[in-house]
C-alpha cells in the first residue's frame, strides 16, 4: 500500500525533512509538502535585509529547487489539523489526507499579553516582516535630523533581538542616518541563560556600535509613542521591533495531541513522535524531549539536524521498524552584530569565545553551508558576497 506523508512548513524543519524523506523513501509513499510560502527562507540570516533588502534574493530558495519532481507541493495556509480524520485543512477550504504527518510550521511572536504591544510593534518572523522593518527604519531616518534623531527600540535580546539591533546599527553607519538604537531586555543580561563570557562579548560589540542596552526591567505597556519599562521608565520610539519570545501557531491550537497549554507548542518524544502515533513534530513548533529537563532549543541549528532524523524515523514508522531517539548536540553559537560577529564554543575551535574577522567568516560560512545543503554549491557561491 502507498502511504501519504504530508510535511507542513518550508523552514529548516520542513525543507530538511523533505530532503531526508526523499533520500530514504522508495515507492512505498507519496510525499506532499504544504507551506504558506513557495520558498525556503533562511530565517536566521533574515535580519540582514534590514540594512540591505536586496539580500532577500540570496536567502530565499524556491521550493522547486529543493524538492524532487515526484513530491507534490501545495502553496496554502494550514488552518487546522484533524487527527481523528487524518486531514489537514487549508484556508481555501480544501483538505489534504495523510497517513503520516510531520508538523514543521515554526512559531509566531509571543506578546505575553503586554498592553498595546501587538498593535504597535513590528515582528521578525517572515520575509515581509523584515522588509517592513527595513522600510520603517528607512522612513524614520528620512524624517529625522542630527538634532532630532529617530529612535528605534528593539524589545528582547535573544538571538533575533541582538542581531536586529546590530543590523539597524549597520544601516545607520552605512548611511550616516540620524538614528538612536535601544535594546531592552527584561532579564538581567542580554542573551539570557547563556555563558557570561559570550554575553560580555556581545555587550561590548553592541555598545561599540552605539546601541544603548537596558536590562533588568520588563516592558509593561506600549502605546503609539512610548514603551513603558519597569515601574518608572519610558522610552519614546519611532520604530518598535519586538523579538521578546515565541509561541505556537494558531492553526495547531485545536489539534488533538499533547501540547503545552499556554503556548500550544506540540510535545514530542525524542523520536519526534507526538501523542498521536501518526503525527511527528520538529523545529520551533515542537517541544522535543531531551535528556535533562529542557526541550531541544528553538534554533535553526536544532531544527535542521532534527529534520534529517525525523525523516528517517517516519520511514521507520512506515516500515514498522523501531524509531530512533535524537539528542541535540550543540555545535556552537555564532551571532552577528552588523558586519562583526561573536563565536562561542564552536566545534573543533580551541578558543571558547572570539570575535573579529574569523567569527565573521564563520557566520558567512554557516549561511553558505546551509544554502549548499538546501540547493547546491552554486547557490552558496552566488550568495557569498552578501552573506
Ligand X SMILES: Cc1cc2nc3c(=O)[nH]c(=O)nc-3n(C[C@H](O)[C@H](O)[C@H](O)COP(=O)(O)OP(=O)(O)OC[C@H]3O[C@@H](n4cnc5c(N)ncnc54)[C@H](O)[C@@H]3O)c2cc1C
Does 249 engage in binding with ligand X (CB under 6 A)?
Answer: yes
Q: What x-and-dash track marks residues 110-129 binding ligand X by CB under 6 A?
A: --------------x-----
DSSP secondary structure letters along 134-192: HHHHHHHHHH--SSS-EEEEEE--SHHHHHHHHHHHHHHHHHT--EEEEEEESSSSSST
Residues in contact with ligand X, counted by CB under 6 A, come to a total of: 36
Helix or strand holding residue 263 (H, E): none
Does 343 engage in binding with ligand X (CB under 6 A)?
Answer: no
CB 247 within 8 A of CB 265: yes
Q: What is the nearest approach in angstroms of ligand X to the Cβ of residue 320?
A: 28
- For ligand X, the binding residue among 3, 6, 12, 317 (CB under 6 A) is 12
Q: What is the nearest approach in angstroms of ligand X to the Cβ of residue 297?
A: 8
- For ligand X, the binding residue among 22, 30, 77, 195 (CB under 6 A) is 77
Q: What is the nearest approach in angstroms of ligand X to the Cβ of residue 92?
A: 12
* Residue among 314, 300, 303 at smallest CA distance from 23: 314
- Residue appearing with cell numbers 517572515: 126
- Residue appearing with cell numbers 542596552: 213
Q: What is the nearest approach in angstroms of ligand X to the Cβ of residue 144?
A: 24
270-292 burial: b if 16+ Cβ within 10 Å, else e:
bbbbbebebbbbbbbbbbbbbee
Q: Is 294 helix (H, G, I), strand (E, B) or coil?
A: coil
The region of 18-26, 98-106, 210-218, 273-281 touching ligand X under the rule CB under 6 A is: 98-106
Does 300 engage in binding with ligand X (CB under 6 A)?
Answer: yes
- For ligand X, the binding residue among 5, 7, 9, 171 (CB under 6 A) is 9
Residues 6 or more apart whose CB falls under 8 angstroms from that of 346 comprise: 331, 332, 333, 334, 362
Q: Which residues bind ligand X (CB under 6 A)?
A: 8-14, 34-37, 43-44, 46-47, 77-78, 104-106, 124, 159-160, 163-164, 249, 251, 283-285, 298-301, 303, 335
Amino acid at each position: 500500500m502507498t502511504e501519504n506523508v504530508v510535511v507542513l512548513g518550508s523552514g529548516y524543519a520542513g525543507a530538511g525533512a523533505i530532503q531526508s524523506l526523499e533520500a530514504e523513501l522508495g515507492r512505498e509513499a507519496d510525499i506532499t509538502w504544504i507551506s504558506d510560502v513557495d520558498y525556503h527562507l533562511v530565517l536566521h540570516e533574515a535580519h540582514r535585509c534590514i540594512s540591505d533588502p536586496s539580500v532577500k534574493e540570496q536567502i530565499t530558495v524556491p521550493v522547486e529547487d529543493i524538492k524532487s519532481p515526484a513530491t507534490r507541493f501545495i502553496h496554502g495556509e494550514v488552518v487546522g489539523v484533524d487527527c481523528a480524520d487524518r486531514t489537514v485543512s487549508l484556508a481555501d477550504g480544501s483538505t489534504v489526507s495523510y497517513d503520516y504527518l510531520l508538523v514543521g510550521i515554526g512559531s509566531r511572536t509571543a506578546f505575553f499579553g503586554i498592553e498595546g504591544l501587538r498593535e504597535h510593534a513590528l515582528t521578525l518572523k517572515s520575509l515581509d516582516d523584515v522588509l517592513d522593518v527595513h522600510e520603517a527604519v528607512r522612513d524614520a531616518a528620512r524624517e529625522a535630523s542630527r538634532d532630532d534623531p529617530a529612535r528605534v527600540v528593539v524589545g528582547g535580546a535573544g538571538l533575533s533581538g541582538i542581531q536586529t539591533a546590530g543590523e539597524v546599527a549597520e544601516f545607520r553607519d552605512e548611511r550616516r542616518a540620524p538614528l538612536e538604537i535601544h535594546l531592552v531586555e527584561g532579564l538581567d543580561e542580554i542573551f539570557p541563560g547563556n555563558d557570561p563570557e559570550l554575553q560580555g562579548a556581545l555587550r561590548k560589540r553592541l555598545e561599540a556600535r552605539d546601541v544603548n542596552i537596558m536590562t533588568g526591567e520588563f516592558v509593561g505597556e506600549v502605546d503609539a509613542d512610548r514603551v513603558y519599562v519597569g515601574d518608572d521608565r519610558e522610552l519614546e520610539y519611532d520604530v518598535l521591533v519586538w523579538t521578546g519570545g515565541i509561541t505556537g501557531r494558531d492553526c495547531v491550537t485545536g489539534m488533538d495531541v499533547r501540547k503545552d497549554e499556554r503556548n500550544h507548542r506540540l510535545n514530542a518524544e525524542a523520536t519526534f513522535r507526538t501523542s498521536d502515533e501518526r503525527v511527528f513534530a520538529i523545529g520551533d513548533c515542537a517541544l522535543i524531549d531531551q535528556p535533562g529537563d529542557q526541550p531541544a532549543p528553538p534554533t535553526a541549528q536544532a531544527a535542521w539536524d532534527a529534520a534529517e532524523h525525523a525523516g528517517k524515523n517516519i520511514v521507520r514508522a512506515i516500515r514498522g521498524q523501531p524509531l530512533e531517539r535524537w539528542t541535540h548536540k550543540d555545535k556552537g553559537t555564532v551571532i552577528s552584530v552588523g558586519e562583526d560577529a561573536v563565536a562561542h564554543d564552536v566545534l573543533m575551535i580551541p578558543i571558547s569565545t572570539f570575535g573579529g574577522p574569523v567569527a565573521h567568516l564563520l557566520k558567512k560560512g554557516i549561511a553558505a553551508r546551509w544554502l549548499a545543503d538546501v540547493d547546491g554549491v552554486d547557490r552558496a557561491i552566488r550568495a557569498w558576497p552578501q552573506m
